[in-house]
Amino acid sequence: MPDLEFSEDDMVQLSFLRDEETDALIDAGFLGEDQRLSSPMDDLLCFTYEELVLQVTAGIHYPVTAPCFDLNNLTLSRKDIDSLRATLRCVIENAAETNCIQKWLDRESSGYGIFEATKVVLQLAQEVDVLVKAVRGRTQKEDDQEDGEKKRKPWEQRKATEAIITNEIASEYLRKSAKEICETIPSCYRVLHAECVIRHDLAARFDACRDRLREKLLRHRNSLPKCCTKHTRLEDKVEHLVRPHITFHGTQRHFVPTIVRHGFLKPGSRVPKGGKGVHGNMHEVRCGSTYGRGIYSSPSADFSLSYSDHWARPTSPTEYFGLKLIVCATIMGRARQMFREDNWRQQSEPYEGADSHVANRELEYIVFDPAQIIPVYVLHLDWGADNADHFANLPMDAKQWKPRVSPAKNKLNVNEGLDSVYAGERQRARQAVFAKAAKYFPYGYGPATGGRFVIEEVGEVLEDEEEYGEYHLS
């Protein structure tokens, strides 16, 4: 394809062609009437169905250049989605005969003296719509054939079903329950509640990224790292590399709703509507960029909470009360060990031949594709004044940070042991609760000694008072 510089007049003509196709998309019902004057084809277009999401990027040189598309499968079978992908690729390939630079350069000598472009984006939307309607018709026919079976109404048991599916997805990604994850966190961080925040659109994007990386690694079999030598079959090596890792991301609570709703943002991407910051502005570096301008997380919850500053500096002793801990599933693929001497601070892509970076004694994981990391749980923490000393004594250089000695198990059930059938266990549990109360309740009133502070009874936790679901509905 020959190189070409588009003049200002050329860009105006191309924008007219895109506006003409926008009108066609609106007339066909794929876009709303309010988008007629907003030039939506200059940005990312999303055609959303219950079964899938089609994302199309046309670009400012479209229709001379071909658009890019991405399909996020939500409920379709693999056969249907693979067939649709092949169809959409054929649409783009067939349009290359008319939508190309050579036809643009020869437009004045054409039959009508204009550039006769194929409306590729419209055709992509039409093909998706045809398939979705066919699948729905097929499903409806199968439902009608179920003799005497009661059809479940869409509003019945919806919340319960979604909760079950969401927790199943979390278990599939992390291969651990919320309780097991909390037990790995140092007991000085008291976990009150683990809120599952998986969104189905982000999960679909995460799965699609995993599939793409799997296909990529199968094509580059000779570049697989030596750590996979224990696997003899190529497929096993690839599955080992695309298996999600449990990582943590400590951040202030006012950033959490945006992360839960839109996923993690890569520095340089635009702040989404409703996100923290000015809509349309570029997302800035938030967790440092020593090893690349990517998304940082850590396999260590302690490290993530200790270095949550914008520039990966220690968390201030005056700010830790607002911290939340996000449990993530992260696809690393081929991870490359990075050092400060690599001078990768200004780079927005991983090192050649790598899909991610690890650094600082493998305490920092860096991915450069937002689809490689998904928030799974938000951990609500109970901060106390005793945590201040820890944050006040953190080293400025994260490379000098040392993990705490053997974390004790962090229990989610605060009533554990109090309802035991054995009197001895109940007594020990009551003594443990008394000890915790004596340690944490008196802050601001002096130590719990003598008669200055008296704990009279241990009450039960009322279910209707434990409301930690702040983010899963946002």
63 in the same domain as 97: yes
**Global pTM exceeds 0.85:** no
Nearest Cα neighbor of 309 from 393, 247, 398 is: 398
Would you say residue 390 lies in a domain? yes
- What dihedral angle (degrees, nearest 10) is formed by the CA atoms of 130, 207, 50, 327? -170
391 in the same domain as 281: yes
Would you say residue 470 lies in a domain? no
Nearest Cα neighbor of 22 from 167, 125, 138, 110 is: 125
Would you say residue 88 lies in a domain? yes
Q: Where among 88, 115, 144 does a domain terminate?
A: 144
Chain position carrying tokens 């959303």: 48
Largest CA distance in the chain: 100
Chain position carrying tokens 């054929």: 90
183 in the same domain as 312: yes
pLDDT in tens, the chain (474 residues): 445 688 888 898 999 999 999 999 999 999 988 888 888 888 899 999 999 999 999 989 999 999 999 999 999 998 999 999 999 999 999 999 889 998 888 888 776 678 888 999 999 999 999 999 999 998 888 777 665 454 444 433 444 445 556 778 899 999 999 989 998 888 878 888 889 999 989 999 999 999 999 999 998 887 787 655 566 788 888 999 999 999 999 988 888 998 999 999 888 777 666 555 434 465 565 555 789 989 999 999 999 988 876 655 677 766 666 788 999 999 999 999 999 999 998 898 999 999 999 999 999 999 999 999 999 999 988 776 667 777 777 877 777 777 765 444 565 554 555 554 455 556 666 666 666 666 555 544 444 554 455 556 666 554 444 444 566 544
- Give the Cβ contact number of residue 239 at 10 Å: 14
Would you say residue 464 lies in a domain? no
Would you say residue 47 lies in a domain? yes
Would you say residue 465 lies in a domain? no
Report the CATH number at residue 328.
3.90.228.10
Q: What share of the chain is helix, strand, coil (3-state, %, to 5)?
A: 40, 15, 45
219 in the same domain as 309: yes
381 in the same domain as 440: no
Would you say residue 191 lies in a domain? yes
Would you say residue 370 lies in a domain? yes
184 in the same domain as 138: no
CB 192 within 8 A of CB 470: no
Parallel/antiparallel/unpaired status of strands 190-196 and 373-382: antiparallel
79 in the same domain as 33: yes
Chain position carrying tokens 């997805």: 169
How many domains in the chain? Answer: 3
Cα 162 from chain centre: 18
228 in the same domain as 167: yes
391 in the same domain as 450: no
Nearest Cα neighbor of 367 from 455, 277, 458, 298 is: 298
165 in the same domain as 121: no
Question: What residues make up the domain containing 439?
Answer: 423-457
Q: How far apart are the first and last CA of the chain?
A: 46
345 in the same domain as 436: no
266 in the same domain as 175: yes
